[in-house]
Amino acid sequence: MAIGTLTRAAILEQAIRMVGALEAAGTADAGAATTLDDNILTHPDADQLKDYNLYLTGGTGDGNDRIASAFTPASDRITVSPSFSATPDTTTTYILLRPPWRAQSFI
């Protein structure tokens, strides 16, 4: 990929991936004030993603940086605190970082 075609989000994701901090990256299927759903994000344990950093990299809510307080395996739903500035929708892309990493460390 030519350097001129890389987006800020792609560069951020690659940097996070290179240090081993990336748990997942994707596009939301739905959302609410404090949740983001992605049917690709599957984990068996409700507490598995607690304290992970959810950073919205594009679309609705771009730039929101939140900490996961819960994960609901049945609906593939991450709950965050505080609320998002805008409700995530199908245009919202995100990265999920393992603790103790934060997206802001890379920005």
**pLDDT recorded at residue 2:** 57
The residues that bridge with 96 in the sheet, in sequence order, are 24, 54
From first to last of its 107 residues, what are the pLDDT tens digits of the chain? 556 688 999 999 999 999 999 999 999 999 999 999 999 998 888 888 999 999 999 999 999 999 999 999 999 999 999 999 999 999 999 999 999 999 999 98
pTM of the entire predicted model: 0.92
**pLDDT recorded at residue 4:** 67
Q: Is the dihedral of CA 37, 42, 43, 44 positive or negative?
A: positive
In eight-state DSSP terms, residue 45 is: -
